[in-house]
Structure 1
Amino acid sequence: MAADFRRSLSLPCDDDDDASRPRHARSSSVPFPSHPAISHLHHLISVLRFWPSGERAPGERVAAVLLDVARLHAALDDLLHLPLARDPLRRPSASAWADRILDDFLRLADAHGSFRTAVLALEQLHSEVRSSIRRRDAGRLASALRAHRRVEKDLARLAAAVRDLAGKGPAPLAWISSGDVDVARVLREAVTETAAASAFVFTAVAAVSAEASTAAGSTGSLGSSSVVGAVLRKLRKRGADAEAEVVALERLKAAEELMRELTETGISERVFRSLMNARVSLLNILTPSL
Protein backbone atom coordinates (compact mmCIF):
# COMPACT_ATOMS: atom_id res chain seq x y z
CA MET A 1 0.00 0.00 0.00
CA ALA A 2 1.38 3.32 -1.00
CA ALA A 3 2.38 5.64 1.75
CA ASP A 4 0.29 8.70 2.21
CA PHE A 5 2.58 11.74 1.90
CA ARG A 6 1.27 15.15 2.71
CA ARG A 7 2.66 18.08 0.80
CA SER A 8 3.06 21.49 2.26
CA LEU A 9 4.05 24.78 0.62
CA SER A 10 6.43 27.01 2.57
CA LEU A 11 6.55 30.69 1.70
CA PRO A 12 9.35 33.00 2.85
CA CYS A 13 8.32 35.31 5.63
CA ASP A 14 9.01 39.00 5.50
CA ASP A 15 12.05 39.84 7.54
CA ASP A 16 11.65 43.11 9.37
CA ASP A 17 15.41 43.65 9.34
CA ASP A 18 15.62 43.01 5.61
CA ALA A 19 12.67 45.23 4.91
CA SER A 20 14.21 48.08 6.83
CA ARG A 21 17.55 47.72 5.06
CA PRO A 22 18.16 50.66 2.71
CA ARG A 23 18.06 49.86 -0.97
CA HIS A 24 20.09 51.83 -3.50
CA ALA A 25 18.20 52.73 -6.63
CA ARG A 26 20.39 53.49 -9.62
CA SER A 27 19.42 56.10 -12.15
CA SER A 28 19.04 54.78 -15.67
CA SER A 29 20.14 58.05 -17.21
CA VAL A 30 23.73 58.52 -16.00
CA PRO A 31 26.63 56.38 -14.82
CA PHE A 32 27.43 56.19 -11.12
CA PRO A 33 30.98 56.40 -9.71
CA SER A 34 31.26 52.63 -10.09
CA HIS A 35 30.84 52.96 -13.85
CA PRO A 36 34.16 51.97 -15.48
CA ALA A 37 34.32 55.11 -17.63
CA ILE A 38 33.91 57.40 -14.61
CA SER A 39 36.37 55.43 -12.50
CA HIS A 40 38.95 55.48 -15.29
CA LEU A 41 38.60 59.24 -15.68
CA HIS A 42 39.01 59.82 -11.95
CA HIS A 43 42.22 57.79 -12.11
CA LEU A 44 43.58 59.80 -15.06
CA ILE A 45 42.69 63.07 -13.32
CA SER A 46 44.54 61.91 -10.20
CA VAL A 47 47.60 61.13 -12.32
CA LEU A 48 47.63 64.72 -13.58
CA ARG A 49 46.91 66.18 -10.16
CA PHE A 50 49.67 64.34 -8.29
CA TRP A 51 52.83 64.35 -10.36
CA PRO A 52 55.79 62.62 -8.73
CA SER A 53 58.16 65.34 -7.53
CA GLY A 54 61.92 65.22 -7.40
CA GLU A 55 62.33 62.29 -9.76
CA ARG A 56 63.12 64.22 -12.92
CA ALA A 57 63.75 67.79 -13.97
CA PRO A 58 60.68 69.69 -15.26
CA GLY A 59 61.95 69.52 -18.84
CA GLU A 60 62.22 65.74 -18.64
CA ARG A 61 58.59 65.44 -17.47
CA VAL A 62 57.11 67.52 -20.29
CA ALA A 63 56.43 64.68 -22.72
CA ALA A 64 55.07 62.44 -19.94
CA VAL A 65 52.64 65.11 -18.74
CA LEU A 66 51.46 65.79 -22.28
CA LEU A 67 50.86 62.08 -22.77
CA ASP A 68 48.74 62.03 -19.61
CA VAL A 69 46.70 64.98 -20.91
CA ALA A 70 46.13 63.21 -24.23
CA ARG A 71 44.99 60.04 -22.47
CA LEU A 72 42.62 61.98 -20.22
CA HIS A 73 40.86 63.70 -23.09
CA ALA A 74 40.69 60.56 -25.20
CA ALA A 75 38.89 58.88 -22.27
CA LEU A 76 36.70 61.95 -21.82
CA ASP A 77 35.74 61.79 -25.49
CA ASP A 78 34.75 58.14 -25.00
CA LEU A 79 32.54 59.12 -22.05
CA LEU A 80 30.80 61.83 -24.07
CA HIS A 81 29.77 59.21 -26.63
CA LEU A 82 27.86 57.22 -24.01
CA PRO A 83 24.12 57.98 -24.11
CA LEU A 84 23.95 57.64 -20.33
CA ALA A 85 26.44 60.50 -19.94
CA ARG A 86 24.95 62.77 -22.60
CA ASP A 87 21.46 63.17 -21.13
CA PRO A 88 22.32 65.53 -18.22
CA LEU A 89 24.13 67.98 -20.50
CA ARG A 90 21.12 68.26 -22.82
CA ARG A 91 18.83 69.57 -20.11
CA PRO A 92 17.88 73.25 -20.46
CA SER A 93 18.99 73.89 -16.88
CA ALA A 94 22.53 72.81 -17.81
CA SER A 95 22.85 75.11 -20.82
CA ALA A 96 24.90 77.94 -19.29
CA TRP A 97 27.16 75.55 -17.39
CA ALA A 98 27.81 73.38 -20.45
CA ASP A 99 28.52 76.45 -22.60
CA ARG A 100 31.21 77.49 -20.13
CA ILE A 101 32.82 74.04 -20.30
CA LEU A 102 32.66 74.22 -24.09
CA ASP A 103 34.40 77.60 -24.03
CA ASP A 104 37.08 76.22 -21.69
CA PHE A 105 37.76 73.38 -24.11
CA LEU A 106 38.17 75.90 -26.92
CA ARG A 107 40.63 77.99 -24.91
CA LEU A 108 42.68 74.92 -24.05
CA ALA A 109 42.74 73.76 -27.66
CA ASP A 110 43.77 77.24 -28.86
CA ALA A 111 46.55 77.35 -26.26
CA HIS A 112 47.94 74.01 -27.35
CA GLY A 113 47.70 75.01 -30.99
CA SER A 114 49.82 78.07 -30.21
CA PHE A 115 52.16 75.89 -28.13
CA ARG A 116 52.78 73.63 -31.13
CA THR A 117 53.73 76.68 -33.20
CA ALA A 118 56.07 77.93 -30.46
CA VAL A 119 57.78 74.55 -30.13
CA LEU A 120 58.47 74.39 -33.87
CA ALA A 121 59.89 77.91 -33.77
CA LEU A 122 62.11 77.17 -30.76
CA GLU A 123 63.48 74.02 -32.37
CA GLN A 124 64.66 76.05 -35.36
CA LEU A 125 65.91 78.95 -33.26
CA HIS A 126 67.97 76.78 -30.92
CA SER A 127 69.71 75.29 -33.93
CA GLU A 128 70.27 78.78 -35.33
CA VAL A 129 71.75 80.05 -32.05
CA ARG A 130 74.15 77.11 -31.80
CA SER A 131 75.28 77.61 -35.35
CA SER A 132 75.81 81.35 -34.79
CA ILE A 133 77.92 80.74 -31.67
CA ARG A 134 80.13 78.28 -33.52
CA ARG A 135 80.62 80.66 -36.43
CA ARG A 136 80.87 83.70 -34.15
CA ASP A 137 78.38 85.51 -36.35
CA ALA A 138 77.14 88.29 -34.07
CA GLY A 139 74.58 89.72 -36.49
CA ARG A 140 72.96 86.38 -37.22
CA LEU A 141 73.01 85.51 -33.54
CA ALA A 142 71.36 88.77 -32.48
CA SER A 143 68.56 88.26 -35.00
CA ALA A 144 67.93 84.68 -33.89
CA LEU A 145 67.91 85.59 -30.21
CA ARG A 146 65.46 88.46 -30.68
CA ALA A 147 63.07 85.99 -32.25
CA HIS A 148 63.87 83.56 -29.44
CA ARG A 149 62.84 86.10 -26.79
CA ARG A 150 59.56 86.80 -28.57
CA VAL A 151 58.68 83.10 -28.53
CA GLU A 152 59.56 82.84 -24.83
CA LYS A 153 57.23 85.76 -24.10
CA ASP A 154 54.48 84.02 -26.06
CA LEU A 155 54.96 80.90 -23.94
CA ALA A 156 54.77 82.98 -20.76
CA ARG A 157 51.48 84.51 -21.92
CA LEU A 158 50.08 81.08 -22.76
CA ALA A 159 51.06 79.77 -19.33
CA ALA A 160 49.39 82.74 -17.62
CA ALA A 161 46.21 82.29 -19.65
CA VAL A 162 45.74 78.61 -18.85
CA ARG A 163 46.79 79.14 -15.23
CA ASP A 164 43.96 81.65 -14.97
CA LEU A 165 41.62 79.01 -16.36
CA ALA A 166 42.78 76.51 -13.73
CA GLY A 167 42.29 79.07 -10.95
CA LYS A 168 38.66 79.82 -11.75
CA GLY A 169 37.44 77.07 -9.49
CA PRO A 170 34.56 74.70 -10.21
CA ALA A 171 31.47 75.97 -11.94
CA PRO A 172 28.29 75.90 -9.82
CA LEU A 173 26.50 72.55 -9.89
CA ALA A 174 23.19 73.75 -8.44
CA TRP A 175 21.40 72.85 -11.67
CA ILE A 176 22.29 69.19 -11.51
CA SER A 177 20.62 66.30 -9.71
CA SER A 178 22.49 64.04 -7.31
CA GLY A 179 22.49 61.22 -9.85
CA ASP A 180 24.16 63.36 -12.50
CA VAL A 181 26.79 65.09 -10.41
CA ASP A 182 29.62 62.67 -11.23
CA VAL A 183 29.49 63.36 -14.97
CA ALA A 184 29.49 67.12 -14.38
CA ARG A 185 32.24 66.95 -11.77
CA VAL A 186 34.54 64.84 -13.92
CA LEU A 187 34.15 67.32 -16.79
CA ARG A 188 34.98 70.27 -14.54
CA GLU A 189 37.95 68.52 -12.94
CA ALA A 190 39.27 67.45 -16.33
CA VAL A 191 39.32 71.08 -17.47
CA THR A 192 40.93 72.33 -14.24
CA GLU A 193 43.69 69.70 -14.15
CA THR A 194 44.38 70.01 -17.87
CA ALA A 195 44.81 73.75 -17.46
CA ALA A 196 47.21 73.28 -14.53
CA ALA A 197 49.19 70.63 -16.41
CA SER A 198 49.33 72.83 -19.51
CA ALA A 199 50.67 75.76 -17.49
CA PHE A 200 53.37 73.45 -16.12
CA VAL A 201 54.32 72.28 -19.62
CA PHE A 202 54.47 75.77 -21.14
CA THR A 203 56.54 77.07 -18.22
CA ALA A 204 58.88 74.07 -18.27
CA VAL A 205 59.61 74.44 -21.98
CA ALA A 206 60.37 78.13 -21.50
CA ALA A 207 62.60 77.23 -18.54
CA VAL A 208 64.63 74.76 -20.61
CA SER A 209 65.33 77.52 -23.11
CA ALA A 210 66.23 79.94 -20.31
CA GLU A 211 68.69 77.45 -18.83
CA ALA A 212 70.43 77.22 -22.18
CA SER A 213 70.55 81.01 -22.37
CA THR A 214 72.01 81.31 -18.89
CA ALA A 215 74.70 78.77 -19.72
CA ALA A 216 75.63 80.76 -22.81
CA GLY A 217 76.29 83.84 -20.66
CA SER A 218 77.95 82.14 -17.70
CA THR A 219 81.59 82.95 -18.46
CA GLY A 220 83.65 85.79 -17.03
CA SER A 221 81.95 88.62 -15.17
CA LEU A 222 78.86 88.84 -17.41
CA GLY A 223 76.11 90.00 -15.11
CA SER A 224 73.30 90.24 -17.60
CA SER A 225 70.93 87.30 -17.94
CA SER A 226 69.94 88.50 -21.40
CA VAL A 227 70.83 85.92 -24.00
CA VAL A 228 71.63 88.54 -26.63
CA GLY A 229 73.83 90.65 -24.37
CA ALA A 230 75.59 87.68 -22.84
CA VAL A 231 76.46 85.91 -26.07
CA LEU A 232 77.45 89.08 -27.93
CA ARG A 233 79.83 90.00 -25.12
CA LYS A 234 81.14 86.48 -25.29
CA LEU A 235 81.87 86.83 -28.99
CA ARG A 236 83.69 90.14 -28.47
CA LYS A 237 85.82 88.66 -25.78
CA ARG A 238 88.62 86.74 -27.46
CA GLY A 239 89.95 83.85 -25.47
CA ALA A 240 86.71 83.35 -23.52
CA ASP A 241 86.38 80.23 -21.44
CA ALA A 242 86.12 77.38 -23.96
CA GLU A 243 84.67 75.00 -21.40
CA ALA A 244 81.78 77.35 -20.64
CA GLU A 245 81.09 77.65 -24.35
CA VAL A 246 80.90 73.88 -24.64
CA VAL A 247 78.41 73.79 -21.77
CA ALA A 248 76.31 76.48 -23.45
CA LEU A 249 76.27 74.58 -26.73
CA GLU A 250 75.28 71.38 -24.93
CA ARG A 251 72.40 73.15 -23.17
CA LEU A 252 71.19 74.59 -26.46
CA LYS A 253 71.40 71.18 -28.07
CA ALA A 254 69.43 69.62 -25.19
CA ALA A 255 66.73 72.27 -25.56
CA GLU A 256 66.60 71.65 -29.30
CA GLU A 257 66.24 67.90 -28.71
CA LEU A 258 63.33 68.47 -26.33
CA MET A 259 61.52 70.49 -28.99
CA ARG A 260 62.26 67.79 -31.54
CA GLU A 261 60.89 65.13 -29.19
CA LEU A 262 57.62 67.02 -28.86
CA THR A 263 57.26 67.40 -32.62
CA GLU A 264 58.65 64.15 -34.03
CA THR A 265 56.86 61.85 -31.57
CA GLY A 266 53.61 63.64 -32.39
CA ILE A 267 52.71 64.06 -28.71
CA SER A 268 52.01 67.78 -29.05
CA GLU A 269 49.76 67.09 -32.05
CA ARG A 270 48.07 64.25 -30.16
CA VAL A 271 47.16 66.54 -27.26
CA PHE A 272 45.75 69.16 -29.60
CA ARG A 273 43.66 66.55 -31.45
CA SER A 274 42.37 64.97 -28.25
CA LEU A 275 41.23 68.38 -26.98
CA MET A 276 39.52 69.16 -30.28
CA ASN A 277 37.80 65.76 -30.42
CA ALA A 278 36.44 66.11 -26.88
CA ARG A 279 35.19 69.60 -27.68
CA VAL A 280 33.47 68.42 -30.87
CA SER A 281 31.78 65.60 -28.95
CA LEU A 282 30.52 68.06 -26.34
CA LEU A 283 29.37 70.45 -29.07
CA ASN A 284 27.42 67.63 -30.73
CA ILE A 285 25.66 66.96 -27.44
CA LEU A 286 24.65 70.60 -27.02
CA THR A 287 23.62 71.09 -30.66
CA PRO A 288 22.15 67.77 -31.83
CA SER A 289 21.31 67.51 -35.51
CA LEU A 290 17.67 67.96 -36.35
Structure 2
Amino acid sequence: MVTGFRRTLSLPLAKSASVPALRRFRGEKRQSLRSTSLPGRSHPTVSHLLDQIRSAPGDSSSSGVDAIDRLLAAVDDLLRLPQAREALCRRPAWADRLLDAFLRLADAHGSFRSAVLCLSDRRAEAQAAIRRADPARLASAARSLRRTEKEVSQVAAAIKDLARSAPLSPGQWADAAEAEITGVLTDAVAATASASVGVFMAIAAAAAAESASLSKDSWKVWPTKKAAKAKETAPSAAAEGLEEGSGRVFRSLVNIRVSLLNILTPSL
Protein backbone atom coordinates (compact mmCIF):
# COMPACT_ATOMS: atom_id res chain seq x y z
CA MET A 1 0.00 0.00 0.00
CA VAL A 2 1.38 3.37 -0.97
CA THR A 3 1.29 6.06 1.69
CA GLY A 4 1.55 9.82 1.39
CA PHE A 5 0.30 13.11 2.70
CA ARG A 6 -2.91 13.03 4.68
CA ARG A 7 -5.42 15.84 4.68
CA THR A 8 -8.85 16.47 6.12
CA LEU A 9 -11.24 18.12 3.71
CA SER A 10 -14.31 20.12 4.62
CA LEU A 11 -15.06 22.44 1.75
CA PRO A 12 -18.20 24.49 1.08
CA LEU A 13 -19.83 24.04 -2.28
CA ALA A 14 -18.60 26.64 -4.71
CA LYS A 15 -21.06 28.73 -6.70
CA SER A 16 -21.14 27.86 -10.37
CA ALA A 17 -19.31 30.40 -12.46
CA SER A 18 -19.38 31.22 -16.11
CA VAL A 19 -16.12 29.98 -17.62
CA PRO A 20 -15.03 28.89 -21.10
CA ALA A 21 -16.52 25.48 -21.79
CA LEU A 22 -14.13 22.55 -21.60
CA ARG A 23 -13.99 20.22 -24.53
CA ARG A 24 -16.26 17.28 -23.78
CA PHE A 25 -15.91 13.69 -24.92
CA ARG A 26 -16.40 13.51 -28.68
CA GLY A 27 -17.25 17.21 -28.78
CA GLU A 28 -20.65 16.75 -27.16
CA LYS A 29 -21.97 18.37 -23.99
CA ARG A 30 -22.26 15.82 -21.19
CA GLN A 31 -25.82 15.33 -19.99
CA SER A 32 -26.95 14.32 -16.51
CA LEU A 33 -26.52 10.57 -16.13
CA ARG A 34 -28.54 8.14 -14.04
CA SER A 35 -27.72 4.64 -12.87
CA THR A 36 -28.36 2.18 -10.08
CA SER A 37 -24.87 2.90 -8.72
CA LEU A 38 -25.46 6.66 -8.58
CA PRO A 39 -29.25 6.81 -8.16
CA GLY A 40 -31.29 9.77 -9.38
CA ARG A 41 -29.17 12.88 -9.38
CA SER A 42 -25.38 12.79 -9.27
CA HIS A 43 -23.66 11.91 -6.03
CA PRO A 44 -22.97 15.11 -4.00
CA THR A 45 -19.22 14.52 -4.33
CA VAL A 46 -19.53 14.39 -8.12
CA SER A 47 -21.66 17.53 -8.11
CA HIS A 48 -19.11 19.29 -5.90
CA LEU A 49 -16.29 18.41 -8.30
CA LEU A 50 -18.35 19.65 -11.24
CA ASP A 51 -18.85 22.95 -9.42
CA GLN A 52 -15.09 23.25 -8.90
CA ILE A 53 -14.45 22.49 -12.58
CA ARG A 54 -16.88 25.22 -13.63
CA SER A 55 -15.22 27.61 -11.18
CA ALA A 56 -11.66 26.90 -12.34
CA PRO A 57 -10.03 30.20 -13.29
CA GLY A 58 -8.99 31.06 -16.80
CA ASP A 59 -6.31 33.48 -15.60
CA SER A 60 -3.96 33.85 -12.88
CA SER A 61 -2.50 34.88 -9.55
CA SER A 62 -2.49 33.42 -6.07
CA SER A 63 -6.30 33.29 -6.13
CA GLY A 64 -5.97 31.11 -9.24
CA VAL A 65 -3.63 28.77 -7.37
CA ASP A 66 -6.14 28.56 -4.51
CA ALA A 67 -8.90 27.63 -6.97
CA ILE A 68 -6.73 24.87 -8.43
CA ASP A 69 -6.12 23.52 -4.94
CA ARG A 70 -9.88 23.45 -4.23
CA LEU A 71 -10.44 21.61 -7.50
CA LEU A 72 -7.80 19.01 -6.61
CA ALA A 73 -9.25 18.57 -3.13
CA ALA A 74 -12.59 17.74 -4.77
CA VAL A 75 -10.84 15.20 -7.02
CA ASP A 76 -9.30 13.59 -3.94
CA ASP A 77 -12.77 13.37 -2.36
CA LEU A 78 -14.16 11.70 -5.48
CA LEU A 79 -11.41 9.08 -5.52
CA ARG A 80 -12.57 7.95 -2.09
CA LEU A 81 -15.95 6.85 -3.48
CA PRO A 82 -16.40 3.10 -4.08
CA GLN A 83 -17.93 3.93 -7.47
CA ALA A 84 -14.78 5.75 -8.50
CA ARG A 85 -12.54 2.92 -7.31
CA GLU A 86 -14.63 0.40 -9.24
CA ALA A 87 -14.55 2.48 -12.42
CA LEU A 88 -10.78 2.86 -12.21
CA CYS A 89 -10.23 -0.85 -11.56
CA ARG A 90 -12.44 -1.77 -14.52
CA ARG A 91 -10.45 0.57 -16.77
CA PRO A 92 -6.77 -0.11 -15.96
CA ALA A 93 -5.47 1.29 -19.27
CA TRP A 94 -7.47 4.49 -18.82
CA ALA A 95 -6.48 4.67 -15.16
CA ASP A 96 -2.83 4.48 -16.19
CA ARG A 97 -3.34 7.46 -18.52
CA LEU A 98 -5.01 9.34 -15.69
CA LEU A 99 -2.09 8.49 -13.42
CA ASP A 100 0.34 9.74 -16.05
CA ALA A 101 -1.61 12.98 -16.47
CA PHE A 102 -1.46 13.71 -12.75
CA LEU A 103 2.27 12.86 -12.75
CA ARG A 104 2.85 15.45 -15.46
CA LEU A 105 0.80 18.01 -13.55
CA ALA A 106 2.75 17.26 -10.37
CA ASP A 107 6.06 17.63 -12.22
CA ALA A 108 4.89 20.93 -13.72
CA HIS A 109 3.80 22.35 -10.39
CA GLY A 110 6.98 21.13 -8.73
CA SER A 111 9.00 23.05 -11.32
CA PHE A 112 6.70 26.05 -10.99
CA ARG A 113 7.11 26.08 -7.23
CA SER A 114 10.90 26.10 -7.62
CA ALA A 115 10.64 28.96 -10.12
CA VAL A 116 8.42 30.95 -7.74
CA LEU A 117 10.97 30.56 -4.95
CA CYS A 118 13.74 31.69 -7.31
CA LEU A 119 11.61 34.61 -8.45
CA SER A 120 11.42 35.93 -4.90
CA ASP A 121 15.20 35.76 -4.59
CA ARG A 122 15.69 37.53 -7.90
CA ARG A 123 13.28 40.30 -6.96
CA ALA A 124 15.16 40.81 -3.71
CA GLU A 125 18.42 40.91 -5.64
CA ALA A 126 17.04 43.58 -7.99
CA GLN A 127 15.82 45.72 -5.09
CA ALA A 128 19.17 45.44 -3.34
CA ALA A 129 20.98 46.44 -6.55
CA ILE A 130 18.77 49.51 -6.93
CA ARG A 131 19.27 50.59 -3.32
CA ARG A 132 23.03 50.25 -3.68
CA ALA A 133 23.18 51.85 -7.14
CA ASP A 134 24.97 48.74 -8.45
CA PRO A 135 24.46 48.51 -12.26
CA ALA A 136 26.30 45.20 -12.66
CA ARG A 137 24.20 43.53 -9.99
CA LEU A 138 21.05 45.07 -11.47
CA ALA A 139 21.88 43.72 -14.93
CA SER A 140 22.42 40.27 -13.40
CA ALA A 141 19.01 40.44 -11.68
CA ALA A 142 17.34 41.44 -14.95
CA ARG A 143 18.92 38.47 -16.74
CA SER A 144 17.79 36.15 -13.94
CA LEU A 145 14.22 37.41 -14.24
CA ARG A 146 14.28 36.76 -17.99
CA ARG A 147 15.49 33.21 -17.34
CA THR A 148 12.64 32.69 -14.89
CA GLU A 149 10.15 33.92 -17.48
CA LYS A 150 11.47 31.40 -20.02
CA GLU A 151 11.50 28.55 -17.51
CA VAL A 152 7.89 29.13 -16.44
CA SER A 153 6.75 29.51 -20.06
CA GLN A 154 8.32 26.14 -20.88
CA VAL A 155 6.54 24.52 -17.93
CA ALA A 156 3.23 25.92 -19.21
CA ALA A 157 3.90 24.62 -22.73
CA ALA A 158 4.63 21.13 -21.37
CA ILE A 159 1.08 20.62 -20.08
CA LYS A 160 -1.00 22.53 -22.64
CA ASP A 161 -2.12 19.31 -24.32
CA LEU A 162 -3.68 18.13 -21.03
CA ALA A 163 -6.17 21.00 -21.27
CA ARG A 164 -7.92 18.91 -23.91
CA SER A 165 -10.00 16.09 -22.43
CA ALA A 166 -10.17 13.90 -25.56
CA PRO A 167 -6.78 12.14 -25.14
CA LEU A 168 -7.97 10.64 -21.84
CA SER A 169 -11.24 9.29 -23.22
CA PRO A 170 -11.73 5.70 -22.03
CA GLY A 171 -13.85 4.73 -25.06
CA GLN A 172 -17.03 2.75 -24.49
CA TRP A 173 -18.47 2.83 -20.98
CA ALA A 174 -19.87 -0.13 -19.07
CA ASP A 175 -22.72 1.92 -17.61
CA ALA A 176 -23.86 5.46 -16.88
CA ALA A 177 -22.12 5.54 -13.50
CA GLU A 178 -18.79 4.68 -15.09
CA ALA A 179 -19.38 7.27 -17.80
CA GLU A 180 -20.03 9.94 -15.20
CA ILE A 181 -17.02 9.08 -13.03
CA THR A 182 -14.54 8.79 -15.90
CA GLY A 183 -16.00 11.85 -17.58
CA VAL A 184 -15.75 14.13 -14.56
CA LEU A 185 -12.21 12.96 -13.76
CA THR A 186 -11.17 13.60 -17.35
CA ASP A 187 -12.68 17.08 -17.22
CA ALA A 188 -10.93 17.68 -13.89
CA VAL A 189 -7.57 16.98 -15.53
CA ALA A 190 -8.42 19.37 -18.37
CA ALA A 191 -9.59 22.09 -15.97
CA THR A 192 -6.51 21.71 -13.76
CA ALA A 193 -4.17 21.92 -16.76
CA SER A 194 -6.01 24.89 -18.27
CA ALA A 195 -6.04 26.83 -15.00
CA SER A 196 -2.40 25.94 -14.35
CA VAL A 197 -1.32 27.20 -17.76
CA GLY A 198 -3.14 30.47 -17.05
CA VAL A 199 -1.36 30.90 -13.72
CA PHE A 200 2.03 29.96 -15.15
CA MET A 201 1.74 32.37 -18.08
CA ALA A 202 0.64 35.21 -15.80
CA ILE A 203 3.71 34.72 -13.61
CA ALA A 204 5.95 34.46 -16.68
CA ALA A 205 4.51 37.73 -17.98
CA ALA A 206 5.08 39.39 -14.60
CA ALA A 207 8.73 38.26 -14.57
CA ALA A 208 9.23 39.56 -18.11
CA ALA A 209 7.65 42.92 -17.22
CA GLU A 210 9.83 43.28 -14.12
CA SER A 211 12.94 42.45 -16.11
CA ALA A 212 12.03 45.01 -18.79
CA SER A 213 11.44 47.67 -16.14
CA LEU A 214 14.97 47.38 -14.78
CA SER A 215 17.73 49.58 -16.15
CA LYS A 216 21.13 50.79 -15.03
CA ASP A 217 19.51 54.07 -13.97
CA SER A 218 16.63 52.50 -12.00
CA TRP A 219 17.94 53.72 -8.65
CA LYS A 220 17.61 57.33 -9.86
CA VAL A 221 13.84 57.03 -9.82
CA TRP A 222 13.64 54.85 -6.71
CA PRO A 223 11.22 56.43 -4.19
CA THR A 224 11.96 57.69 -0.70
CA LYS A 225 12.88 55.13 1.96
CA LYS A 226 9.34 55.03 3.38
CA ALA A 227 7.71 54.72 -0.05
CA ALA A 228 10.30 52.18 -1.14
CA LYS A 229 9.50 49.97 1.85
CA ALA A 230 5.79 50.05 0.97
CA LYS A 231 6.62 49.31 -2.65
CA GLU A 232 8.63 46.25 -1.65
CA THR A 233 6.09 44.96 0.89
CA ALA A 234 3.18 44.46 -1.54
CA PRO A 235 5.04 42.18 -4.00
CA SER A 236 6.60 40.35 -1.05
CA ALA A 237 3.18 39.55 0.47
CA ALA A 238 1.86 38.40 -2.92
CA ALA A 239 4.94 36.23 -3.45
CA GLU A 240 4.51 34.59 -0.05
CA GLY A 241 0.89 33.76 -0.88
CA LEU A 242 1.94 32.31 -4.22
CA GLU A 243 4.72 30.25 -2.65
CA GLU A 244 2.34 28.83 -0.04
CA GLY A 245 -0.39 28.15 -2.59
CA SER A 246 1.95 26.48 -5.07
CA GLY A 247 3.19 24.23 -2.28
CA ARG A 248 -0.37 23.18 -1.41
CA VAL A 249 -1.17 22.41 -5.04
CA PHE A 250 1.96 20.30 -5.41
CA ARG A 251 1.10 18.31 -2.26
CA SER A 252 -2.48 17.87 -3.48
CA LEU A 253 -1.24 16.41 -6.76
CA VAL A 254 1.06 14.05 -4.87
CA ASN A 255 -1.90 12.96 -2.69
CA ILE A 256 -4.00 12.26 -5.77
CA ARG A 257 -1.26 10.13 -7.29
CA VAL A 258 -0.96 8.22 -4.02
CA SER A 259 -4.73 7.62 -4.01
CA LEU A 260 -4.65 6.39 -7.61
CA LEU A 261 -1.72 4.08 -6.92
CA ASN A 262 -3.49 2.67 -3.84
CA ILE A 263 -6.58 1.96 -5.95
CA LEU A 264 -4.61 0.29 -8.75
CA THR A 265 -2.15 -1.60 -6.52
CA PRO A 266 -3.62 -4.65 -4.77
CA SER A 267 -3.15 -4.68 -0.99
CA LEU A 268 -0.75 -7.33 0.24
Query: TM-score, normalised on structure 1?
Result: 0.71
Q: Which has the higher contact order (CA 8 A, sep 6+)?
A: 2
Offset at 1:84?
2.2
Bigger Cα displacement from structure 2, 103-112 vs 167-176: 167-176
Larger radius of gyration: 1
144 and 253 in structure 1: CA distance in 2 versus 1, 3 angstrom threshold: farther
Structure 1 match to 2:242: 262
Q: Matches of 2:165 and 2:185 in 1, distance apart? A: 14
Q: Matches of 2:72 and 2:251 in 1, distance apart? A: 9
Check whether the contact 1:209–1:255 (CA below 8 A) recurs between aligned residues.
Answer: no
Residues matched between the structures, number: 233
Structure 2 match to 1:27: 36
Query: TM-score, normalised on structure 2?
Result: 0.77
1:284 equivalent among 258, 262, 265: 262
108 and 115 in structure 1: CA distance in 2 versus 1, 3 angstrom threshold: same
The one-character-per-residue Cα deviations of 1:56-89 (angstroms, maximum 9, x if unpaired) are xx6xx51111111111111211111121221111
Q: Matches of 2:179 and 2:106 in 1, distance apart? A: 25
82 and 158 in structure 1: CA distance in 2 versus 1, 3 angstrom threshold: same
> Which blocks of at least 5 consecutive residues in structure 2 are unaligned?
1-32
Structure 1 match to 2:194: 196
Structure 1 match to 2:107: 110
> Which blocks of at least 5 consecutive residues in structure 1 are unaligned?
1-23, 52-57, 217-230
Q: Matches of 1:202 and 1:113 in 2, distance apart? A: 12
Structure 1 match to 2:250: 272
Q: Matches of 1:191 and 1:171 in 2, distance apart? A: 9
Offset at 1:95?
1.8
Check whether the contact 1:132–1:138 (CA below 8 A) recurs between aligned residues.
Answer: yes
25 and 138 in structure 1: CA distance in 2 versus 1, 3 angstrom threshold: closer
Q: CA RMSD in A?
A: 2.8
Identity of aligned pairs, percent? 46
Alignment of 1:202-213 (within 5 A): 202-213=200-211
Structure 2 match to 1:10: none
Amino acid at match of 1:67: D
Alignment of 1:1-290 (within 5 A): 26-28=35-37, 33-48=41-56, 61-91=60-90, 94-167=91-164, 169-179=166-176, 180-216=178-214, 231-232=215-216, 234=217, 254-263=234-243, 266-290=244-268
The one-character-per-residue Cα deviations of 1:25-83 (angstroms, maximum 9, x if unpaired) are 8423x57752101111100100016x5xxxxxx6xx51111111111111211111121
Check whether the contact 1:166–1:195 (CA below 8 A) recurs between aligned residues.
Answer: yes
Q: Matches of 1:282 and 1:32 in 2, distance apart? A: 27
Q: Which SS does the other structure have where 2:112 is aligned?
A: helix
Amino acid at match of 1:145: A
Amino acid at match of 1:46: R
Check whether the contact 1:31–1:85 (CA below 8 A) recurs between aligned residues.
Answer: no
